[in-house]
Structure 1
Amino acid sequence: MKLVNTHMQIIVLLLFISFLGKEMNAQTYSLQQCIDTTLANNKQLQISKNNQQISEQKRKEVQANLFPRIDANGEYKYYLDLPYQLMPLSTFNPTAPEGQFKEAQFGVPHNINANLQLSMPLYNPQLYTNISATKIAIEMSSLQHKKTEEEVFFDVSNLYYNAQILQNQLAFIDSNINNNKVLLKNMQLLHSQLLAKQTDVTKIELQLQQLITQHELLFSKQEQVINMLKIMMGIGLESNINVEQQVVFETQPEQTSINNIDVALVQQKTRLLDVELKSIKRSRLPTLALFGMYGTTGFGYDEQPNEFLNFYPISFGGIKLQYPIFQGFSTQRKINQKKLELTNANLQLEMLNDQTNMQTINARQQKIITQKSVENTQKQAELASKIYQQILLPQKQGTANLTEVLMADNALRDA
């Protein structure tokens, strides 16, 4: 029996030493410090910021189509067989009848072209609409980043509070273990004085072993929550951190706040679909563009004694008008699709508004219930501890039976 008791004391001592060592070496973070670290290091937030920059670059990409475009072109051709052309036979023989032709080869084997081509849109209604669409996309990206921030803030807060609750539960179990050790010592003393049975001592030992097991499980669960918190904060798993002991309910974004951003996102999506619909419709309008070319053309002949390579300048400029007349009904099909998408977006917005109103009511009720539950639990724990201390004194004097002590101890643990 003494060997068993010694074994239990060693286990309790090791648990206490490991827990105490962890507490001493760990850096304690407040909730605000966790949030600040998360905002600086969280990878999900970094991806969201990069998506914002991507949206801005896409806007600049579309807007760049308004600027002139200059292309440099170069081409060299060597004709193994010069191209043929049919010429009227009367060109070679004035007396030849009409309707008769003679093939002839024109040109030289070496042909070189080098030029610069300029093109610039003067009027393109679809392009202007696409620029407006990219601006809406930037607003959506900003809203999405804000939503990501609040979701991360919400998750970090929940993990932090869970870690605090587990930490308080561990401290409470440590207190129960100490109480059971005192109870076991008293019961062993009563047993030595023949005032208690051996089964009474065994019951206390079993209860102490159960508390030790419960402590190990809670400690493992707290480690898992702390590791998840580290990942959200963007720090290494090897970092040794802890949370504050006292639970203080700070203001954190309600789920309804995130839902409000969802509503704003759907509203922006509706705007974007409307602009895209206008862009498709404006693809039917004419476009006007400026174009020009400046370059040189070279012709060469390599048969002696008449070899040569001569270059001749070429340049022109103009205005191009393009008006789509018939595109095989593809434009109308695109318009019909976009109208259906717009209808779905409006329905989604109505549905989201209904869900937001419902969740707002539920969140407020749940918050009140949770706060009352925490207050009641604290009061129950204080009352159970008071009862336990009151029953422990008569037990030391041998005037309280084991059943009363165990009932008080169970009430304390349940609280």
Structure 2
Amino acid sequence: MKLVSIHILYSILLVSIIGSQSAQAQVWTMQDCIDTAQVHNKNLQMGRNNIAIGEQKEKEAKANLFPKVTANADYKYFTNLPYQLMPLSTFNSTAPEGQFKEAQFGVPHNINANLQLSMPLYNPQVYGTIQTTKVASELTELQYQKTEEQIYFEISNLYYNAQILLHQIAFIDSNHINASRLLKNMQLLNQQLLAIGTDVSKVKLQVAQLTTQKEIIRNKYEQILNALKFTMGISIEQSIQIEPNIQYQSANEYTPSSTLDIRIIKAQNRLLSIELSTLNKSRFLPSLYLFGTYGTTGFGYDKQSNGFLKFYPIGFAGIQLSYTLFNGTITQLKLNQKNFELRNNILQSGILTEQNNMQIENAKLQRIVAQYSVETSTEQIKLAQTIYEQTILQQKHGTASLTDVLLADNALREAQQTYLSVVIDYLRADLDLKKLTGNISRIK
């Protein structure tokens, strides 16, 4: 669609304002600000770090399927060798059955060193964790996109506010020129005894008020620029200047797409469903592990005269099957919790969808009204400017009083303020519509 500049009457003043500052500062377009924030904004940097963390967690979950090898070593010195009860018939074949005699086995020094291998052949919890970390990684990506969208929204809002303040300064400059001319005229008339001193004072007061108002607006403009630089992630000391002309696409229609909030809810739904499925599998499916050990065992005796230290190899392999018969209904209680969370997730998805549709319709209505108001207020400014100029001419010819001039000037200011207000309303409604339809990241 055709890009139309909303600022028509004061373009010359805007060019002079920006021209005087651009010699000292670079002019940044909105896209420049967004591109800079993409690189330097710390929230986005943390978001990218979170994505990297999610990727590492996904790899960690998959690593649980790999074999685990551990090295173990221990040394024991028995001050008292362990006892074991032996049947008395072992020592005396004629001893009656049911009688035992204690005996100490082993040697004081025991050394063990081995390598142990374990590998899950099947574990429903491991596979469930892999699935959940994959979805969690996608969820982190969506959260990053949401942060990115919010940064775009904030930058756009700040940029528009700064542009509005620039135009407000231009209006004030224009009014200041008119008031200064009027003051010179009134001072001349006062010298010719055709105007009283009070009239001169009224115009002086008007000029002073415009000067003060300009300083206030300029201070607000600097504050907005500081907030914009902070959001972009650049130094507050860096000097920048924004593009003065606000451009909008008249009656632009945005293609609705799934918003990030709804996509996040759907990802959470998938995550809950996987957790629920994993819990169900863990109730009915066993876990199967492969394990093995290879090492050496050493025995030592330190008494005279048969002292020795000997090592003997040890190795074995096996398969372990684990199945939970009863765990105190913990799994069932967790299942109940996940079922309620899943129900809430479905309800929340419905609420967000309905709310988003309602907000889209409201934003469209607000933008239509604001667009009509922009066109109307533009004509009102032209009319108020014409009336003011005609009143000045009439005042010079003595057919209009100073009061008529001041009234015409106030009417012009009100028209200017109304114009800026409806421009703000339009830009906010358009920005809200972009966000609600999932087009905020397409700002150019």
- Does 1:286 pair with 2:283? no
- Unpaired runs of 5+ residues, structure 2, are 1-15, 416-444
Q: CA 1:166–1:138 in structure 2 vs 1: closer, same or farther (change >3 Å)?
A: same
Aligned residue type for 1:363: A
Between the aligned partners of 2:85 and 2:255, the Cα distance in structure 1 is: 81
> Residue 180 of structure 1 aligns with which residue?
179
Which structure would you say has the larger RCO, counting Cα contacts within 8 Å and 6 or more residues apart?
2
Show CA shifts across 1:378-408 (max 9, x none): 3322332232222223333444210111011
Mapped to 1, the partners of 2:255 and 2:241 lie a distance apart of 30
Look up the SS of the partner of 2:379 in the other structure. Answer: helix
Residue 364 of structure 1: how far off its partner (Å): 1.4
1:196-345 aligned within 5 A: 196-249=195-248, 260-284=259-283, 285-345=285-345
Give the 5 Å matches for 1:26-37.
Answer: 26-37=25-36
In the TM superposition, what is the alpha-carbon distance from 1:18 to its structure 2 partner?
11
Q: Is the 8 A contact 2:57 2:133 kept in 1?
A: yes
Look up the SS of the partner of 1:294 in the other structure. strand
1:170: how far off? 0.8
Once residues 364 and 160 of structure 1 are traced to their aligned partners in structure 2, the CA distance between those partners, rounded to angstroms, is 22
Q: Paired residue for 2:372?
A: 372
Paired residues of 1:190 and 1:398 also in contact (CA < 8 A) = no
Q: Aligned to 1:283, what secondary structure does the other structure show?
A: helix
Count of residues paired in the alignment = 398
What letter matches 2:76 in structure 1? Answer: K
Identify which range, 108-117 or 45-54, moves more after superposition: 45-54
Distance of 1:24 and 1:293 partners within structure 2: 77
Q: Any idea what SS the aligned residue of 2:51 has? A: helix
Q: Deviations over 1:165-212 (max 9, x none)?
A: 001101111121122111111111111111111111111111122212
Q: 1:81 Cα deviation (Å)? A: 1.7
Q: CA deviation digits over 1:59-116, x for unaligned, max 9?
A: 1111111111111111111112221222223333333333332222221111111111
Query: In the alignment, what sits opposite 1:6?
Result: none
Distance 1:367 1:62, change over 3 A: same
Cα offset, 1:21, TM superposition: 6.2
Query: Take 2:234 and 2:165, find their aligned partners in 1: how far apart are those partners?
Result: 21
Is contact 1:151-1:258 (8 Å) kept?
no
The within-5 A match list for 1:70-219 is 70-219=69-218
Match of 2:24 in 1: 25
Amino acid in the other structure paired with 1:330: I
Equivalent position of 1:11 in the other structure: none
**Structure 1 residues 19 and 211, CA, compared in 2 at 3 Å: closer, same or farther?**
farther
1:20 offset after TM fit, Å?
A: 8.0
**Are 1:413 and 2:420 matched, yes or no?**
no
Aligned counterpart, 1:393: 393
Q: Which amino acid aligns with 2:369?
A: I
Kept in 2: contact 1:150–1:258 (CA 8 A): no
- What SS does the corresponding residue of 1:25 show, helix, strand or coil? coil
Asked if the contact 2:300–2:309 (Cα under 8 Å) also holds between the matched residues in 1, the reply is yes
How far is the alpha carbon of 1:22 from its aligned partner? 4.6
Which whole-Å CA distance do the structure 2 matches of 1:315 and 1:219 have between them?
83
Instruction: Supply the AA of the counterpart residue of 2:117.
Output: L
Contact persistence 2:18–2:244 (CA under 8 A): no
Matching residue's letter, 2:154: D
Contact 2:163/2:245 (8 A) holds in 1 = yes
Q: Measure the CA separation in 1 of the matches of 2:125 and 2:25.
A: 60
Secondary structure, counterpart of 1:149 in structure 2:
helix
Which residue is equivalent to 1:10?
A: none
Comparing 127-136 and 151-160, the one that deviates more: 127-136
Tell whether the 8 Å contact from 2:189 to 2:195 is kept in structure 1 after alignment.
yes
* Secondary structure of the structure 2 residue equivalent to 1:326: coil
Segment drifting more, 235-244 vs 132-141? 132-141
Alpha carbons of structure 1 residues 327 and 315: separation in structure 2 relative to 1, 3 Å: same
Equivalence for 1:13: none
Q: What is the distance in 2 between the residues matched to 1:172 and 1:259?
A: 41
State the secondary structure of the residue aligned to 1:95. coil
Q: Structure 1 residue 337: deviation in Å?
A: 0.7
Partner Cα separation in structure 2 for residue 267 and residue 88 of structure 1: 69
TM-score (norm 1): 0.90
Q: Is the Cα–Cα contact under 8 Å of residues 147 and 258 in structure 1 kept in the other structure?
A: no
- Aligned-partner SS, 2:23: helix
2-side partners of 1:134 and 1:380: how far apart? 60
Unaligned runs of 5+ residues in structure 1 are 1-16
1:254-313 superposed Cα distances (whole Å, 9 cap, x missing partner): 999697221111112111111110000111211111110001111112223322111110
Identity %: 57
TM-score after normalising by structure 2: 0.84
Letter of the 2:409 partner, please give it.
Answer: D
